[in-house]
Amino acid sequence: MSDDYAGDDLTGLSDSLGELYEELTGAEEDDPFAGADLDDDWQIKPMVYTMVPLLVALSVLQMVSGSVLESFEEVLLTNPALLILVPVQIGTAGNLGSIMCSRLSTQLHLGTFELSRTNPEVRSNSGAILALGVTVFTLVGFAAWGIGRLLGGTLGLVEVLTISLVSGTLLAAFVVVVSLVSVSASYRLGYNPDDTTIPVVTNVCDISGVLILFGVITIIL
């Protein structure tokens, strides 16, 4: 590296850094990206070829979710608190899944992700999602009960809170499992997890959230 840099001579510092870059990369100073290949994951065509079939399949899954939801229409209209729980729980599950997938994808790119129960990163992220789910769904239960009472609902606080907390906790656990599996499977199949995992998890959690919620409602009520 050149000895041109001395004291506050910024020009010398710039020249020195340029020479150091050339030494480390072998690139010419006027072509800093010489020899660099763009990763296929950042090309438009692979993204389109991956996402279009996936989104078509997920759209069909959403139709199934809507059909399941419609079959419980009478129960929801009779109990406003439960009607409030449906979009909130599904939306919250999607948000939790997006957080989990983003963190796992980042760890995968950094080389720290390993699908193992002994991996501290996996355990800490899973624990954080479960704790956040329990906290949020508890608050959702109180809010749904209060709004439901204002709309003329008759369900008690204990019933609404139990339904929200139990179904929400089960859904958060499901989000953790689906996120781990989708990130791992996406990587093994050669796809970029940044493109595939969040759409998969959010859409799967939509129909799963509906099934879990109404399963818990059927048991408790």
Average model confidence (pLDDT) across the chain: 78
- Name, in order, each residue with C-beta under 8 angstroms of 5's C-beta and a sequence gap of 6 or more: 12, 13, 15, 16
Note the pLDDT tens digit of each residue in 46-56: 667 777 777 77
The verdict on 83 and 9 lying in the same domain is no
The verdict on 31 and 47 lying in the same domain is no
Note the pLDDT tens digit of each residue in 25-38: 554 444 443 443 44
The verdict on 77 and 184 lying in the same domain is yes
Dihedral over alpha carbons 84, 86, 91, 92 (to 10 degrees): 80
Decide if 54 contacts 182 (C-beta within 8 A).
no
The verdict on 69 and 163 lying in the same domain is yes
The verdict on 30 and 48 lying in the same domain is no
The verdict on 147 and 183 lying in the same domain is yes
The verdict on 12 and 82 lying in the same domain is no
Total-model pTM? 0.70
What CATH number corresponds to the domain at position 83? 1.10.357.20
| pLDDT of residue 63 exceeding 90 | no
Note the pLDDT tens digit of each residue in 141-151: 999 999 988 98
The verdict on 136 and 174 lying in the same domain is yes
User: Which of 220, 176, 184 minimizes the C-alpha distance to 201?
Assistant: 176
The verdict on 2 and 62 lying in the same domain is no
The verdict on 53 and 114 lying in the same domain is yes
The verdict on 67 and 81 lying in the same domain is yes
Number of folded domains that form the chain: 2
The verdict on 74 and 17 lying in the same domain is no
Range of the domain at 30: 1-36
In this prediction, residues 120-124 reach a mean pLDDT of 86
Note the pLDDT tens digit of each residue in 169-212: 999 999 999 999 988 888 888 888 887 888 888 888 888 888 89
